[in-house]
Amino acid sequence: MSITRFVKPEGLPAFLAHLSKDARVLAPVVKPADKRSVVFEPWKEGKEFTLEKATVPAKAAVLPQCETLVSYRKVKDKANPQNVTLELDDTPQAETTVVFAARPCDARGYVTLDRPYLKGPIADPYYKARREKLTVITLTCNSGCNTCFCHWVGGGPSSPEGSDILMTELSDGYILQGITPKGDALLEGSGLDDGADRFKEMEDVRKAAWATLVKAPNLKDAPAKVAAKFTDVDFWTRETDRCLSCGACTYFCPTCYCFNITDEGEATSEKGGRRLRTWDNCMSPLFTREASGHNTRMEKALRMRNRVSHKFSTYPENWGTFSCNGCGRCISNCPVSLDIRQIVLDAINADKAAK
Amino acid sequence: MATQSKKEGMLRELTPRPLPQGNPYKPMAATVVETIQETGNIKTIRVVIDDPEQMANFKYEPGQVGQLSVFGAGESTFVINSPPSMKDYLQFSVMQAGEVTSTIHRLSAGDKVGVRAPLGNFFPYEDWKGKNIFFVGGGIGMAPIRTIMLHILERKKDYGKVSLLYGAKSPSDMAFSYELQGWLDNPDLDCHLCIDNPAEGWQHKVGLIPNVLTEIGPKPDNCVAVLCGPPIMIKFTLQALEKLGFQHENIVTTLEKRMKCGIGICGRCNIGSHYVCIDGPVFTLKQLNGLPPEL
């Protein structure tokens, strides 16, 4: 049996304080605004936090919205000013980080990102540096919600994939279960009470969570069916009729990982500048526009086709599994209520509808 | 030379190829040693990697591309269009189109640039041994053709008849003009040049590439056709090659789509599940037929 610990709700701040001694702790924090949201922020002692599902997943822990890849500057040899060299600094910025109270869909998101970032022809050194310093503590979901569908795509409310520790809310507190050796070690050094006697109760709570979920349709044929719809542009035009190309679906997604690389600051000066990597958005018509004006995804239908195909057909073709983890944020944050589930189901049921 | 390019997890084999050493995002600092104004909008940049050891050890295969960057403006993808036997410099021929290429056009000898290379796959020239090869280059599309053609001509004894059809809008739009006479005189090369419309003093063929190609009428038996050019030229040249009877596996082209990372992550150059930067840029027509139509 894995290592388990138990903590009362009032013990959580002390646990976070313990974690933050050696690491940056990212915890969900409420941001009051016209539209209230929950985001992950670095926690320090005394800061309020919540255990709600975050509006924005903690993807930035491994893939910041913006980061420096290389800083550059020209260096003149003072004795011989004609002798100019280019100084390039590419040290990855990575700090030891604990993500606290992610959800299983978000934790699986890290595994989804690991494949292209670590297992392609060349590993991404910046991602790798941060990923190796990351510990994920995941709060299992005690119930589903009307936009999430992790169980359609291979996950579940207590899926351990991508988590180092799974935490489950019981009647009077939280049980923490080590999933990886890293998680076990963290729990062993946490000073929390043993939770072995609550293990049975934990299993019951997790099982009850499954019972709250709607029945999942069979998506086994989704990769082939979505691929088969590729050339049916009318289908994609219909499905994306009301899309605004705002890109919210990509920015809120725990597994969207496209990026842009741009320069900031001239290298002609000794002050220099930086080459930046920033999140990009395949819903933008600029995403694939070439200097010549040629653009393979000029229409929004073709851009959404790319996004849905990547999640449900082409990523599976490359890596053997969906890259959508069913968190539902692209649905709950869409200003026009587009629903990726419906697009996939329509692709699957297209033959039946035609008959 | 080749570095293993498949790791656990990916369901698809990639051809082993030379890869960038170290951090794939960190450019090698390089210095422009020469620029050649090829035409009104094409400029050739020759660069040397600043670290002599890196320069001496730099290996690539014909058809592989590089990200050439001007710090402050950004980077763009171009084929390395000097043949791998050229050890003095790396050459990029660049058509002015957008921000980065405009900045590249302002470079002169002594300027500092960055190079991330080699990226992508390469022309499968080993598979072509014993065969005739018909190269077709249109406009700036001659850049990658030049690399592989010079590479093949260096090993001519391994190949059959080698032909080139190089077309441009007008005589003044022909890049590598200083090399053309040498190509015409080369007994190992059957060289045809064409321009779209008649021009004074033009001694060669006149007409659009697909039509001139049909007129030359290369025999498809034991022959590989290798082409690169603007999308519209590719489209009609493919039709002409099909009419001539070329099998799809014997038609090879190189695609240079918009790229950022160059290592199969950033999500811009994909055609379905395949990424031009790691599965290409070189594809046979047969391979392209197996991918979704998203060119």
CB pairs under 8 A between A and B: 154
Identify the pLDDT of residue A271. Answer: 86
What lies within 8 Å, CB to CB, of A197 at 6+ separation is none
Q: What is the dihedral of CA B97, B99, B104, B110, to 10 degrees?
A: 170
Residues of chain A neighbouring B266 (CB-CB closer than 8 A): 258-261, 280
CA dist B29 and B50 (Å) reads 6
Identify the pLDDT of residue B3. Answer: 44
Q: Quickly tell me which residue has 């007129």 as its tokens.
A: B215
Token couple for A134: 């990351």
Nearest residue in B to A229, CA atom: B292
Query: What angle (nearest 5°) sits at the alpha carbon of residue A321, between those of residues A205 and A160?
Result: 25
pLDDT confidence band for A354 (50 / 70 / 90): low
Which residue blocks in B60-98 are alpha helix, DSSP H?
none
Tell me: pLDDT of B203 over 80: yes
Tell me: pLDDT of B2 over 70: no
Average pLDDT over residues B6-30: 85
CB atoms within 10 A of CB A268: 16
Beta bridge partners of A134: A97
Nearest residue in A to B110, CA atom: A84
Q: Closest approach of chain B CAs to the CA of A1, in angstroms? A: 29
Tell me: pLDDT of B72 over 50: yes
> Across the interface, do B25 and A291 touch by the CB < 8 Å criterion?
no
Best B265, B271, B279, B289 residue to mutate vs chain A (most A CBs within 10 Å): B265
Percent of chain B with pLDDT over 90: 89
Interface of B with A in 53-92 (CB under 8 A): 69-76
pLDDT in tens, A99-127: 999 999 999 999 999 999 999 889 999 99
Residues of chain B neighbouring A266 (CB-CB closer than 8 A): 71-72
Best A275, A298, A307 residue to mutate vs chain B (most B CBs within 10 Å): A275
CA dist A54 and B38 (Å) reads 56
Select from B74, B100, B264 the Cβ nearest to the Cβ of A116: B264
Identify the pLDDT of residue B8. Answer: 59
What is the Rg, in whole angstroms, of the alpha carbon atoms belonging to chain B?
Answer: 18
Helix, strand, coil proportions of chain B in percent (round to 5)? 25, 30, 45
Tell me: pLDDT of A164 over 50: yes
Is some CB atom of chain A closer than 8 A to the CB atom of B13? Answer: no
CA dist A123 and B241 (Å) reads 40
Select from A70, A74, A319 the Cβ nearest to the Cβ of B112: A74
Angle, helices B231-244/B209-216, rounded to nearest 10 degrees: 20
pLDDT in tens, A316-340: 999 999 999 999 999 999 999 999 9
Is some CB atom of chain A closer than 8 A to the CB atom of B48? Answer: no
> Across the interface, do B258 and A289 touch by the CB < 8 Å criterion?
yes
Closest-CA residue to A306 (of B53, B97, B193, B273): B273
Best B268, B277, B288 residue to mutate vs chain A (most A CBs within 10 Å): B268
> Across the interface, do A88 and B263 touch by the CB < 8 Å criterion?
no
CB A132 within 8 A of CB A164: no
> Across the interface, do A280 and B69 touch by the CB < 8 Å criterion?
no
Residues of chain B neighbouring A275 (CB-CB closer than 8 A): 25, 69, 71
CA dist B290 and A175 (Å) reads 51
Residues of chain A neighbouring B75 (CB-CB closer than 8 A): 261
pLDDT confidence band for B1 (50 / 70 / 90): very low
> Across the interface, do A85 and B29 touch by the CB < 8 Å criterion?
yes
Mean of the per-residue pLDDT values for chain A? 94
Q: Closest approach of chain A CAs to the CA of B233, in angstroms? A: 14
Is some CB atom of chain A closer than 8 A to the CB atom of B121? Answer: no
pLDDT in tens, A72-97: 998 888 898 888 888 999 998 899 99
A11, A23, A158, A166, B202 from A135: Cα distances, Å:
20, 10, 17, 11, 70
Q: Closest approach of chain A CAs to the CA of B93, in angstroms? A: 16
For A252, counting Cβ atoms within 10 Å of its Cβ (0-12 exposed, 13-18 middle, 19+ buried), the class is buried
Best A62, A73, A74, A86 residue to mutate vs chain B (most B CBs within 10 Å): A86
Is some CB atom of chain A closer than 8 A to the CB atom of B262? Answer: no
Q: Quickly tell me which residue has 């590249």 as its tokens.
A: B104
Is some CB atom of chain A closer than 8 A to the CB atom of B291? Answer: no
CATH number of B28-119: 2.40.30.10
Residues of chain A neighbouring B294 (CB-CB closer than 8 A): 230, 296-297, 302
Select from B71, B98, B99 the Cβ nearest to the Cβ of A267: B71
Select from A290, A309, A320 the Cβ nearest to the Cβ of B11: A320
Please, where in chain B does CATH 3.40.50.80 lie?
125-254
Token couple for A331: 């649905």
Angle, helices A104-119/A125-132, rounded to nearest 10 degrees: 140
Best B261, B275, B278, B288 residue to mutate vs chain A (most A CBs within 10 Å): B261
Ramachandran category for residue A123: left, alpha or beta (phi over 0 → left; psi -120 to 50 → alpha): beta
A34, A46, A246, B136 from A31: Cα distances, Å:
10, 16, 22, 60
Identify the pLDDT of residue A82. Answer: 82
Identify the pLDDT of residue B294. Answer: 83
| Global ipTM | 0.91
CB atoms within 10 A of CB A133: 16
Average pLDDT over residues A173-177: 98
Is some CB atom of chain A closer than 8 A to the CB atom of B7? Answer: yes
Identify the pLDDT of residue A1. Answer: 62
Strands (E), chain A: 4-7, 24-31, 37-42, 66-76, 84-89, 97-102, 134-139, 165-170, 173-178, 193-194, 259-264, 273-279
Token couple for A11: 């013990």
A162-171, A289-298, B17-26: which is most confident: A162-171
Amino acid (1-letter code) at residue B217: G
Q: What is the dihedral of CA B150, B154, B157, B161, to 10 degrees?
A: 10
Beta bridge partners of A139: A167
* CATH code 3.40.50.80 for B125-254: yes
